[in-house]
Structure 1
């Protein structure tokens, strides 16, 4: 008999005892030797039985039972490590995808001036909502990337998803239309007509007072 590569020490002992029980008049020393030879040479128990040989099969089994506790713990730790690696791998897949990919399926309004300039001009307007503060440890953020919308570090203003979506909401309500080209405004009208959406709260092309 030999311990299988995917077999726990506890299961090997149980299988060995079952096989031994089927042998009438099995010699203890022969059984002890067979038990040891069935172990992988890199097994800690094999090393223990070689350095400190047991004279009886009962002593061999007693030593082996102690090693099952260590073997069981290693199996549990290995399974936990594999689960953690799998979870990290799955999370890594999500993190490895650039955030721009999330925008690939979304259509955003094209403005005639950079976003940060729009925010600078409408920052005092009552309809501009302030976003929630950026989460995370400030010491771990990239301080070379500043977002005017969040007024914090971590990403550039033009890459801010929250800002893009909020501007879309503002455009939906008829705000910031002066920063949109006439062609884009016509596309919005056509889109509303296609989707049977209600008219904007403000007329298209309205300017700020």
Structure 2
């Protein structure tokens, strides 16, 4: 009787026992750090078969509270809760600061596709944000999905010309283009791999002893480049955007390595040395 008198529930609720065949459903516990309305909806949907049993709804709801939320429940005045509606009211009022902001269809206008973002990732992110909007306007969703795409991407043109396309059809078309983009990227990566295999070999991958000079061999290049018999290496071709642009080779006329570290320049310099074409003012010695 002492426990009943200290309970936030009235005596009528406390004295109500569950049905003999009642099986306790599984609940996601509430610890006081999430949206109370969401937890309340979860509780009501789980207990939908017992909605008419007000006392059972109250007592079962109390078992879903943990941590801070359970501590709060035990601070309620004794016998102050006489119905599930009253319990719901004080619960949502206590945790009103955790209410999720209700988004409208206009929220989709804030979704901007980044230039580096793939079509597949954009579709996934757009779907996630749309799912947060209750009763989202399909026309607005379709328009915003299209308008955030790059006008230079072929998908934008197809969506623009396809006036009858709904959002589901737009998703399908976008996913097909995502496969196309991924195939093109795969081919590009394969091409770059082959290019890198044909790119200049550095000294550290093919060690060799070369003639050493009293001045850096990059300076020798400046002294020889005006000689009529001197030949620079062909400039690098292909996509150079992935190469290391903090380094530059004057002999190869491209990034990714230094002049001093370029094997072909050292080999060419060795060839000129053996032919006796180097200017005498360049003093040299061998290992």
Q: Larger Rg: 1 or 2?
A: 2
Bigger helix fraction: 1
**Structure 2 length as normaliser, TM-score?**
0.32
**Structure 1 length as normaliser, TM-score?**
0.42
